[in-house]
Amino acid sequence: MKPNDHTTPSASISHSLAPYANTDTVKTIDRIFKARSIAVVGASSDPAKFGYMTLDCLIRGGYEGTVFPINPKGGEILGLRVYPSLNEVPGQLDLAMIIVPFQFVASVLQEAAKKNVAGAIICSGGFKEAGRQDLEDELKAIGRQTGVRLLGPNISGIAYLPNKMCAQFFPAFTTRGPLAVICQSGTVTTGLCEWASDDGLGVSAGINLGNQVDLCECDYLDFFARDENTRAIVMYLEGVSNGRRFLETLDRTTPRKPVVIIKGGRTEAGRRSTASHTGSMASSHEIFSAACRQVGALVAPDIETAYDHAKALATMRPIQGRRLLSISTSGGANTLAMDEIEAHGLEVLKLPTELVAKLKGLGLSPLAGFPNPIDLVSIRADDFRKVVLEVDQHNLADVILLNFGDPVVGDLELVKELNDKIKASVAVSYFAGGSQEKIGRIALSRAGFPVFAAPERAIRGIAAKAWYSNYLQKRGLR
């Protein structure tokens, strides 16, 4: 389904299914994410091993708390004293990372409980995904008995950038931004976070779910719904163990924060891969998508679209309607945008004759064209400025797309000024111009503006924002 599709399942979902999150769990996740002391159990001096990579990632990520490497051999790794066991770590610990062979995880978890940790990140694999449900049940029992909350097992780790904490194998993310990433795949978590970092957008968090023996996607949604550092949430899911709870959680999350989901296991081949990856059972994609839309979450058809949706939702101002005006440096950029506009049901209004006359009197290129979209045949920021300020006075668009098909000198200053002065929301497509394009696109992202690498991607992002704005309006939330 496209973002503008309002189709819902025949069975309606009440919007008061579960109005309250588990506040104790949210508080515990807050302590885990803001941990001031972390033990890395299974730390290694071998750069090829995950125990070394994780320690190195914490350090390079800029973590400012205390790190305790744990290895029976003792010694020193990366300039840090190594403790033979958790029992010998002085004082209380907030968080334990467990990177040891699966047969030793339970005993390490018992030791961690004695140190009063809030949580344990279990990176080790070899549990449900390997056919050993019994070992996973043992971990669950220990967690219930001791009160230690479990992340994983079978995960690459987590990152929470407000605490400069990259508690994962790799990489060390340092670009902080508004996007929370929650995925049932370490690879997809890393990919989305790296896209956001490379774009200059950044993330608030990157969470790998793994087998979810304890803390699950619903718990994290409840946290990020309230996290002041997060403005949008993007998820990759292969399946959910409790569909009703998941929809209830989405229902109370989406009024606070927009959620975009990419669903793995949409085909039979994908479902087989899902089962071998995390042991999850994937549900019908059509039913899943329709149910999520009904409670305000967008389900994207692919990972690139999911990222663009989430970027728009995190950075664009609220959109009052579906009317769009595109202004470009060249005709091809507009054509690409118009093809995508039609596919997503956005509206393109024709410019009135009197407005066209005013625009022609602004001293623009004689080659400029003034239907909608507007082709300026110009790379001058001042030409864009004059046209946008004039058009905005006529209330013809809810969104104005600045379609930079060529480098525009003064792009950042232009977008800042227009964003402050006009009533319409502003979005930018910046997709040509070599090094200048990359510099401009990253600068705009770092300044918090919605900027996309192609006209089609910009339109898909705008359509997602329009869909979400409409959803909130229908629920009486704006």
Compute the distance between CA of residue 47 and CA of residue 45 in angstroms, rounded to an integer. 6
> Can you state the angle between helices 186-199 and 434-446, rounded to 10 degrees?
100
Q: 263-288, pLDDT tens digit by residue?
A: 986 655 544 544 444 444 445 788 89
Give the distance from CA 148 to its chain's centroid: 27
Mean pLDDT over residues 324-353, rounded? 91
Mean pLDDT over residues 243-253, rounded? 96
Compute the distance between CA of residue 225 and CA of residue 254 in angstroms, rounded to an integer. 8
Q: What is the arrangement of strands in the sheet containing 374-375, beginning at the earlier edge strand?
A: 374-375, 324-328, 399-404, 425-430, 451-452
More confident residue, 331 or 234: 234
pLDDT bin (cut points 50, 70, 90) of residue 13 is: very low
Question: DSSP H helical segments within 102-159, as ranges?
Answer: 105-114, 133-146
Handedness of CA 297, 299, 304, 305 (dihedral sign): negative
pLDDT higher than threshold 60 for residue 379: yes
pLDDT higher than threshold 80 for residue 321: yes
Cβ proximity of 234 and 307 under 8 Å: yes
Exposure of 225 in the CB half-sphere (CA atoms within 13 A): 23
pLDDT > 70 fraction of the chain, expressed in percent and rounded:
92
Mean pLDDT over residues 411-416, rounded? 96
Which CATH number applies to 34-151? Answer: 3.40.50.720
Compute the distance between CA of residue 24 and CA of residue 79 in angstroms, rounded to an integer. 37
Please count the other Cβ atoms lying within 10 Å of the Cβ belonging to residue 64: 9
Compute the distance between CA of residue 107 and CA of residue 90 in angstroms, rounded to an integer. 19
Q: 129-138, pLDDT tens digit by residue?
A: 989 999 999 9
- CB neighbour class for 90 (10 Å; exposed up to 12, middle 13-18, buried from 19): exposed
pLDDT higher than threshold 60 for residue 17: no
pLDDT at 268: 59
Question: According to CATH, where is 3.40.50.720 located in the chain?
Answer: 34-151
Fold adopted by 157-315: Rossmann fold (3.40.50)
Please count the other Cβ atoms lying within 10 Å of the Cβ belonging to residue 231: 19
Residues in the chain: 478
Q: 36-70, pLDDT tens digit by residue?
A: 999 999 999 999 999 999 999 999 999 999 999 99
Question: According to CATH, where is 3.40.50.261 located in the chain?
Answer: 157-315, 324-474
Fold adopted by 324-474: Rossmann fold (3.40.50)
Q: 158-188, pLDDT tens digit by residue?
A: 999 999 999 999 999 999 999 999 999 999 9
pLDDT at 277: 44
Task: Please give the mean pLDDT across all residues of the chain.
Answer: 91
Compute the distance between CA of residue 100 and CA of residue 96 in angstroms, rounded to an integer. 12
pLDDT higher than threshold 50 for residue 96: yes
pLDDT bin (cut points 50, 70, 90) of residue 241 is: confident
Q: 192-225, pLDDT tens digit by residue?
A: 999 999 999 999 999 999 999 999 999 999 999 9
Q: Which of 21-25, 430-434, 450-454, 471-475 is least confident? A: 430-434
More confident residue, 92 or 263: 263
Cβ proximity of 296 and 251 under 8 Å: yes
